[in-house]
């Protein structure tokens, strides 16, 4: 959330945050944050991106489909541009030098030469992974991560916490730079949340993690953590570079993600020390703001206000108008903020469900999560529903969000297909993954020649993989979390922002994505054992519902499509629904005509029939015909008989 407040008000809000206890941050000020204890009863929808840009304009920047052989990554150019604070080129012949530094690791005991070397190593690794034909794999030994039981999931929980705390430090450091030099771009909600979590986790007086919690695993912590960071960032770079094209997009995504990966590995080596140093930077910032407002680019014009009271609204307005914010270097700060803010949110979304909710009583290995992308039946629109690990329910319907969920599913399926199902005979704890996919054609595609609907295509066989080790579980779970949850929404907002800030002479473009109907589900054996059969309907996931099952089979879609095709022939106005129904009119008129003709025939044979009163029968037949016509007239509202002759009866209701 970009702040539009003045630099002085921003500094005042930050200075009110207590460093030791984290006081001064109000949960009510964070509309996009839901406390974990509430998430099991929450329904989350993807945020509207209308304020960033109309999604209909996305079609104008959509290119060809992604082809790996066409992916070009200039590693040398990226490595040469890893220090934009030293030299930042805006346009040809326009350069800026000695700018504020983002992603600084010198504060954490790394020399500048080592910092540049670490960044370069990460750039080479990410570029190789992005261009590889083989899917990424989780490095390391299976014993580092353990079995797929409660102990194994607790190890994963602690590894995910370390990454989350490292991301908090990255956000904290970068937002401090923005607060000091360009406060208009500061993401205050992200900064306050990161600052509060750091203060709640780190006991500054004792210089250690509060309550003597051990967030490191017993053995091979650094090796396992680095392997997990490499795996998460490898999947992310493949997803990012398969979503959009363009040199601006590729170079910034690779360089910023490489810097995040390097800094996470550095600060997690000694988190208490890293917490202490980032809080020292916060205190230094407070001192600079207190002693010298000009240090943040604020030039104060000395003038007397109309009132000496700080509570006077007129005095506050005059005070704000007296401040001249220095906006030089806005392009540099905008570019730095756009990629760092978006990628940090995406990393948080990717690891959110690797840890379990400590505020509820559910054990670490008792969970089930599922997601499905289904056809709504309206103008070839798709919708995604997902149930996250902690019980939160989410939904998304924007086209680009669904497309990016499809990219994540494609990358995940490449990994899932490499997994081998474990022999679970006699195994007490294991995790099961099931997924499915079937083609989906957009509006405008040619009709099939046969009589079958396009949605009656049989889905691919639903593969099922049982995993007894956490190594395989992490391989499956990380790409799944990029498919289920808020990750696709963050990516959609990120790409729209990149389109807006990119150079029009070298624009970024969306790749044209293939459309699929997809579904995936992950659950543990402990969840199946502990599930109460009497409450199975209450704990049913989206994947198991009857609606989802029928949606995968295509039955409701076929029925809905047939009814919609019928409704397209109706004429609906404010008074009636006019339905073109030839058979209804012809049959009713035919019956009446038959009765009238029968009466006439009886008159014609009056002298030939003995013992029969043809006149009475004729009157009866004509009365029946008249009754039928009146009855049908009433059933079809007040329409004239002429309307029925034109096969356009007026109906009182949909039933008629």
Instruction: Identify the residue with better confidence: 207 or 86.
Output: 86
User: Cα–Cα distance between 615 and 626 in angstroms, integer?
Assistant: 16
Kindly state the average pLDDT of the residues 91-107: 83
CA distances from 544 to 458, 522, 549, 558, 572 (A): 18, 12, 7, 20, 38
- Which are the contacts of 314, defined by CB distance < 8 A and separation ≥ 6? 305, 306, 307
Answer whether residue 293 shows pLDDT above 80. Answer: no
- Which are the contacts of 413, defined by CB distance < 8 A and separation ≥ 6? 435, 437
User: Cα–Cα distance between 472 and 429 in angstroms, integer?
Assistant: 13
Where would I find the H helices in 182-326? 188-201, 221-241, 247-267, 271-291, 313-321
- Assess contact for 123 and 254: CB atoms under 8 A: yes
Q: What pLDDT, on a 0 to 100 scale, did the predictor assign at position 39?
A: 41
CA distances from 75 to 80, 121, 258, 507, 542 (A): 9, 11, 12, 20, 43
pLDDT band at 616 (very low <50, low <70, confident <90, very high): confident
User: Cα–Cα distance between 483 and 472 in angstroms, integer?
Assistant: 17
Lowest-confidence pick of 17-31, 108-122, 395-409:
17-31
Percent residues over pLDDT 90 in the chain: 38
Q: What pLDDT, on a 0 to 100 scale, did the predictor assign at position 220?
A: 92
Kindly state the average pLDDT of the residues 13-35: 37
Instruction: Identify the residue with better confidence: 63 or 488.
Output: 488
pLDDT band at 60 (very low <50, low <70, confident <90, very high): low
- The highest-confidence range among 65-74, 313-322, 639-648, by mean pLDDT, is 65-74
Instruction: Identify the residue with better confidence: 585 or 315.
Output: 585
Q: What pLDDT, on a 0 to 100 scale, did the predictor assign at position 8?
A: 41
User: Cα–Cα distance between 121 and 391 in angstroms, integer?
Assistant: 39
The closest alpha carbon to 579, from 587, 589, 588, 569, belongs to 569
User: Cα–Cα distance between 473 and 433 in angstroms, integer?
Assistant: 9
Answer whether residue 20 shows pLDDT above 80. Answer: no
The closest alpha carbon to 217, from 228, 201, 232, belongs to 228
Kindly state the average pLDDT of the residues 206-234: 87
Answer whether residue 524 shows pLDDT above 80. Answer: yes
Percent residues over pLDDT 70 in the chain: 70
Kindly state the average pLDDT of the residues 123-144: 94
User: First and final CA of the chain: distance in angstroms?
Assistant: 53
The closest alpha carbon to 71, from 2, 126, 143, belongs to 126
What number of other Cβ atoms are within 10 A of residue 482's Cβ?
A: 24
CA distances from 250 to 244, 460, 495 (A): 8, 33, 12
- Which are the contacts of 117, defined by CB distance < 8 A and separation ≥ 6? none
Half-sphere exposure of 588 (CA within 13 A, CB side): 23
The closest alpha carbon to 329, from 89, 77, 81, belongs to 89
CA distances from 39 to 198, 387, 523, 556, 639 (A): 22, 11, 19, 31, 55
φ, ψ dihedrals at 468, nearest 5°: -100, -10
313-336 in b/e burial notation, b at 16+ Cβ within 10 A? eebbeebeeeeeeeeebeebbbbb
Lowest-confidence pick of 12-21, 205-214, 338-347:
12-21
Q: H or E segment at 578?
A: strand 577-578
Average pLDDT over the chain reads: 77
**Over the stretch 439-494, which tens digit does the pLDDT of each residue have?**
886 544 434 434 344 334 444 567 899 999 999 999 999 999 999 989 999 999 99
Lowest-confidence pick of 182-196, 278-292, 587-601:
587-601
CA distances from 410 to 72, 135, 482, 587 (A): 21, 11, 11, 54
Q: What pLDDT, on a 0 to 100 scale, did the predictor assign at position 431?
A: 94
Grouping H, G, I as helix, E, B as strand and the rest as coil, residue 96 is strand
Q: Helix, strand, coil proportions of the chain in percent (round to 5)?
A: 55, 10, 35
**Over the stretch 488-522, which tens digit does the pLDDT of each residue have?**
999 999 999 999 988 877 788 999 998 889 999 99
The closest alpha carbon to 370, from 354, 393, 347, 352, belongs to 393
φ, ψ dihedrals at 129, nearest 5°: -65, -40
Q: H or E segment at 91?
A: strand 87-91
Apex 580 CA angle, 576 and 586, nearest 5: 115
Q: Which residues pair with 524 in a beta bridge?
A: 431
- Assess contact for 11 and 296: CB atoms under 8 A: yes
């Amino acid at each position: 959330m970009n702040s539009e407040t003045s630099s002085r008000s921003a500094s005042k809000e930050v200075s009110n945050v207590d460093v030791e206890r984290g006081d001064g941050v109000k949960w009510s000020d964070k509309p996009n944050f839901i406390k974990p204890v509430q998430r099991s009863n929450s329904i989350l929808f993807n945020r509207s991106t209308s304020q960033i840009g109309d999604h209909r304009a996305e079609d104008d920047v959509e290119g060809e489909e992604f082809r790996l052989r066409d992916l070009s990554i200039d590693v040398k150019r990226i490595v040469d541009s890893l220090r934009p604070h030293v030299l930042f080129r805006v346009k040809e012949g326009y350069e800026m030098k000695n700018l504020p530094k983002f992603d600084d690791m010198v504060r954490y005991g790394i020399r500048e030469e080592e910092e540049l070397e670490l960044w370069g190593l990460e750039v080479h690794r990410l570029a190789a992974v992005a261009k590889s034909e083989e899917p990424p794999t989780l490095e390391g030994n299976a014993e580092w991560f353990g079995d797929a039981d409660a102990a194994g999931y607790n190890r994963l929980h602690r590894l995910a916490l370390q990454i989350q705390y490292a991301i908090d430090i990255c956000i904290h450091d970068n937002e401090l730079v923005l607060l000091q030099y360009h406060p208009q771009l500061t993401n205050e909600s992200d900064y306050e949340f990161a600052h509060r979590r750091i203060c709640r986790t780190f006991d500054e007086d004792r210089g250690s993690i509060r309550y003597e919690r051990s967030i490191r695993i017993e053995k091979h912590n650094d090796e396992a953590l680095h392997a997990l960071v490499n795996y998460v960032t490898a999947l992310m770079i493949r997803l990012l570079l398969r979503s959009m094209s363009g040199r601006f997009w590729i170079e910034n995504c690779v360089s910023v993600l490489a810097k995040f990966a390097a800094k996470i590995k550095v600060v997690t080596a000694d988190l208490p020390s890293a917490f202490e140093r980032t809080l020292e930077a916060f205190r230094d910032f407070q001192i600079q703001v207190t002693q010298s407002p000009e240090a943040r680019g604020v030039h104060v014009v000395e003038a007397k206000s109309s009132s000496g009271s700080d509570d006077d609204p007129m005095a506050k307005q005059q005070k704000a108008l007296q401040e001249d914010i220095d906006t030089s270097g806005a392009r540099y700060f905008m570019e730095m903020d756009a990629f760092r803010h978006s990628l940090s949110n995406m990393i948080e979304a990717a690891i959110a469900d690797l840890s379990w909710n400590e505020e509820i009583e559910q054990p670490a290995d008792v969970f089930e999560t599922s997601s499905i992308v289904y056809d709504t039946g309206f103008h070839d629109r798709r919708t995604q529903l997902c149930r996250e690990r902690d019980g939160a329910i989410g939904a998304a319907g924007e086209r680009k969000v669904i497309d990016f969920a499809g990219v994540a599913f494609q990358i995940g399926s490449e990994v899932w297909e490499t997994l081998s199902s474990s022999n679970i005979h006699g195994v007490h704890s294991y995790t099961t993954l099931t997924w499915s996919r079937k083609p989906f054609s957009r509006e405008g595609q040619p009709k099939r020649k046969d009589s079958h609907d396009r949605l009656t295509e049989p889905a691919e066989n639903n593969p099922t993989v049982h995993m007894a080790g956490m190594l395989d579980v992490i391989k499956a779970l990380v790409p799944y979390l990029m498919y289920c949850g808020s990750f696709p929404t963050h990516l959609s907002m990120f790409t729209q922002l990149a389109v807006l800030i990119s150079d029009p002479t070298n624009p970024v473009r969306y790749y044209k994505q293939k459309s699929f109907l997809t579904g995936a589900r992950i659950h543990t054996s402990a969840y199946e054992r502990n599930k109460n059969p009497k409450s199975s309907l209450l704990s049913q996931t989206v994947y198991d519902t009857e609606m989802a099952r029928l949606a995968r089979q295509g039955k409701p879609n076929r029925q809905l499509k047939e009814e919609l095709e019928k409704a397209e022939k109706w004429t609906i106005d404010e008074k009636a629904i006019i339905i073109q129904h030839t058979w209804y009119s012809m049959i009713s008129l035919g019956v009446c005509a038959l009765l009238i003709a029968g009466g006439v025939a009886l008159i014609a044979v009056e002298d030939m029939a003995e013992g029969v009163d043809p006149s009475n029968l004729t009157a009866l037949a004509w009365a029946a015909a008249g009754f039928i016509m009146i009855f049908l007239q009433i059933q079809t509202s007040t329409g004239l008989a002429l309307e029925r002759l034109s096969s356009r009866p007026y109906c009182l209701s949909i039933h008629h």
